[in-house]
Amino acid sequence: MSAARNQKVAKIHSDYSQAKQDQHIKQQKKRRGLYRRLSLFFLVAVIFGILMGKTLLEQRAILQEKQDRKEVVEQELVQLERKQLRLEEEIVKLNDDEYIAKIARRDYFMSEDGEIIFNIPDDSSSN
């Protein structure tokens, strides 16, 4: 019944009604353009947010790797400092002639005139 009714109603073709229709169409186009701009803006914002999050996670992973490496290097540094102290003590000892003679007797079986060296193995090294 409403379809038949719509056909019977004549449309008014006046400048006012045409202006209203044009205004309505213009508003719809503006609204569509606004939705498109807002959609594009939010899409760009989401992409930017994803890239920022990805960068943040990558930087956090790199920082963690560097902190782990720092701990390893610090441990190596402590070991090298201990080794350096031992070597410095060894240098001081090597400046002493008696210490050098003791090492020569022990390691190279060198003896003084009339001296006999007996090499007795340690019990702990034989096991």
Would residue 34 count as lying in a domain? Answer: yes
How far apart, in Å, do the first and last CA atoms of the chain sit? 112
The pLDDT value recorded for residue 120 is 76
Residue 125 has pLDDT above 80, yes or no: no
Cβ pair 45, 53 in contact under 8 A: no
Angle at 16 (CA atoms; ends 14, 21), nearest 5 degrees: 100
DSSP secondary structure code for residue 13 in this structure: -
The pLDDT value recorded for residue 4 is 58
Q: How many residues does the chain have?
A: 127
pLDDT > 90? residue 110:
no
- Check residues 111 and 41 and name the one with the higher pLDDT: 41
Q: What is the pLDDT of residue 24?
A: 94
Does residue 118 lie within any of the structural domains?
no
Residue 24 lies in a domain: yes
Residue 127 lies in a domain: no
What domain range is 82 assigned to?
A: 16-111
pLDDT (tens digit per residue) in 30-69: 999 999 999 999 999 999 999 999 999 999 999 999 999 9
Dist. CA 97–CA 115, nearest whole Å: 18
pLDDT at res. 112 = 72
> pTM for the complete prediction?
0.49
pLDDT tens sequence across 73-102? 999 999 999 999 999 998 998 888 888 888
Handedness of CA 35, 37, 42, 47 (dihedral sign): positive
101 domain residue, yes or no: yes
How many domains does the structure of the chain reveal? 1
| pLDDT bracket for residue 3 (50, 70, 90) | low
The answer to whether residue 9 sits within a structural domain is no
